[in-house]
Structure 1
Amino acid sequence: MSQYKTKKQKIQFYKSREWQKLRVRVLKRDNCECQECKRNGSVYTEENDPEKHKRLDVDHIKDIYTHPELALDMDNLQTLCVKCHNRKHNRFQKRRKKTFWDDEKW
């Protein structure tokens, strides 16, 4: 059973000194580059998006809700840009309207 059941517990974890230190270590290890963009042949770093206040997240590869024992395991962490992180968790995805061209062709 996860120790991160409530939003308050999750917030406490992410504000903890232990997490903050580990987050910096992971960003340094990953050279402040989004690992998903890197796997796809591009490089996304802190400088790529000056409009945003937070450009990179440290992501749990295996979610802390299902694997709380890996919450502070560096091997379970990766640097992702906000866009890739949101895509991974299916957040803020725009739904494209279906058009005439999407219909089946015969």
Structure 2
Amino acid sequence: MSETISRKEQLEEDVYALLKKLDMLQTRVLSVAWHMIPHLQSEFPMLPRGKVKREDEERFLEDFYQAYSKGTFDAYLKKREERWAFYRSPEWAEKKAEAYKVFGHRCMACGASGGPLSVDHIISRNEAPEKELEIKNLQILCIFCNKGKSGSRQDYRKREDLLSLIRHLGIKLNKAS
């Protein structure tokens, strides 16, 4: 009988240890989610908006866990994976090179040319996925102007940029015919 009790006690301890590890893992996942709030807010409409106070952590974590349980987080990860696959594609690399060739290596908003630049979609890929590889929907921005633009349809191309684009498209049309 004492052997059975000790075996039962051992099983209870093992189960308790496993539950404790599972709880620690869940806490880590939720802690990472807590630090990702600004990004997650745009993806999960049920999450609180604006700057989240630390006392709202429990509510946020509960909402996040419910979204995670329903598979919403999996959908978010899949969407994010598809996004990065696009930005690593040879088609995007070719289109970026074309944009730099047409518009040059300077920010169309502030004119900076020395720092890191990015090719920006004027109309976002979320709004118009069919325009993601159209040169007419691209502009060159420094990382600071691009961050400041985020989500808007602000077109910073100036007259000379548009003329350069028209000449480029005319050259492409002439070569095709």
Normalising TM by the smaller chain, what interval?
Answer: 0.5 to 0.7
Indicate the SS of the match to 1:35: coil
**Which runs of structure 2 are paired with 1:19-34 in the superposition (5 Å)?**
19-34=92-107
TM superposition shift of 1:25: 0.9
- Dislocated runs of 4+, deviation >2 Å: none
1:84 aligns with 2:157: no
Alignment of 1:55-94 (within 5 A): 55-89=116-150
Superposed CA offset, 1:11-64 (max 9, x none): 000000000011011012111111111xxxxx211xx23xxxxx0000000000
- Partner amino acid, structure 2, of 1:71: E
Residue in 1 that maps onto 2:5: none
Q: Distance in 2 between matches of 1:89 and 1:60?
A: 10
Map Cα deviations across residues 61-106 of structure 1 (whole Å, 9 max, x no partner). Answer: 000011001000000000000010011117xxxxxxxxxxxxxxxx
Percent identity over the alignment is 32
- 2:139 counterpart SS class: strand
Q: Which has the higher contact order (CA 8 A, sep 6+)?
A: 1
1:16 matched residue in structure 2: 89
1:25 match: secondary structure: helix
Larger helix share, 1 or 2? 2
The runs of 5 or more residues in structure 2 that have no matched partner are 1-77, 152-177
Q: Secondary structure at the match of 2:123?
A: coil
Q: Distance in 1 between matches of 2:86 and 2:141?
A: 19
Q: Which runs of 5+ in 1 are unaligned?
A: 38-42, 50-54, 91-106
RMSD, aligned α-carbons: 1.4
Under a length normalisation based on structure 2, what TM-score does the superposition of the two structures give?
A: 0.40
The structure 1 residue matched to 2:112, chosen from 39, 44, 48, is 44
Query: Alpha-carbon deviation of 1:8?
Result: 0.4
TM-score, scaled relative to structure 1? 0.66
* Matched letter for residue 72 of structure 1: L
* Aligned partner of residue 112 in structure 2, secondary structure: coil
The structure with the largest alpha-carbon Rg is 2
